[in-house]
Amino acid sequence: MGPALLFCPGDRPDRFAKAAERADAVILDLEDGVAPEDKAAAREAVAASSLDPNRTIVRVNAADSAHLADDLAVLARTAYRTVMLPKATSPADVDALGARDVIALCETAAGVVRAADIAAHPRVVALMWGAEDLVASMGGTSSRHASGAYRDIAAHARSQVLLAAGAAGRGAIDAIRTDIADVDGCRTEADDAAASGFAAKAAIHPSHVAPIRDAFAPSAERVAWAERILEEGERRPGAFRFEGRMVDEPVLMHARSILARAHRGATSPRP
């Protein structure tokens, strides 16, 4: 699965195929993207769809929601086995989903504080974080400054979820950028996500897919540098000087990550 994940409301089946074509994976949303009165229709639309299960995630309703049982009953009729659990607060929330691969969305104060415990659950394959629900859960009014930069509390949560995922050997998915028109801001945020160690970034509009992909795809220059430094490292064990900088194992690990990311980009589905 590639780095650009695109949300699509579950009650808009006319958009399912287009979203799947434009992104590396589509997240069919049964939660916040669907009004309560439309949830039954959204479930049936998801059940009737036939997207690639390897590139499809279904966001169900929260573990304490009255809607979850109906979501899971419909999912049992499909080939989709990767579920995004919103507002995850503990490993027990993951248990409610049964034998499915789970992307746990840590977007409340409780979820962020317990992110490490959630990531350690054997059914969890990745963590994602969410800024707006997090701030709302604490009585706040905005996750960002007027400049567009995250407030300290949101930035802290982002880092904590990334660290929890990394410590458990899980992937981490960066939150959406709600300002659809700010494509440049999305690119800047995706650049930071890729450099920091996130595996992917989610989006709510197709216009953000290209900047996310560009950010996660290493440039030809970076790939060439990684290849050179790893080749040199095979000849010179231990720390050494190369092209004006000191190189040790962490730097070689960075180079391996660049090549791994380049390989994933080359093999990810593209429209």
Domain ranges of the chain: 4-216, 220-267
Q: Enter the DSSP assignment of 181.
A: T
The pLDDT of residue 259 is: 84
The pLDDT of residue 265 is: 60
DSSP symbols for 126-167: EEEE-HHHHHHHTT-S-SB-TTSPBPHHHHHHHHHHHHHHHH
pTM: 0.85
- Phi, psi angles (nearest 5°) of residue 27: -110, 105
The pLDDT of residue 218 is: 77
Say how far apart CA 138 and CA 181 lie, in whole Å: 28
Which of the residues in the chain have pLDDT under 70? 265-271
- Tell me which fold the domain 4-216 belongs to: TIM Barrel (3.20.20)
Say how far apart CA 115 and CA 94 lie, in whole Å: 12
> Angle formed by the axes of helices 68-75 and 39-48, to 10°?
20
Look at the alpha carbons of 45, 46, 48, 49 in this order and tell me if their dihedral is positive or negative: positive
91-94 — which CB contacts under 8 Å span 24+ positions?
Answer: 91/117, 91/118, 91/120, 91/121, 92/63, 93/62, 93/63, 93/64, 93/118, 94/118, 94/121, 94/123, 94/124
The pLDDT of residue 267 is: 45
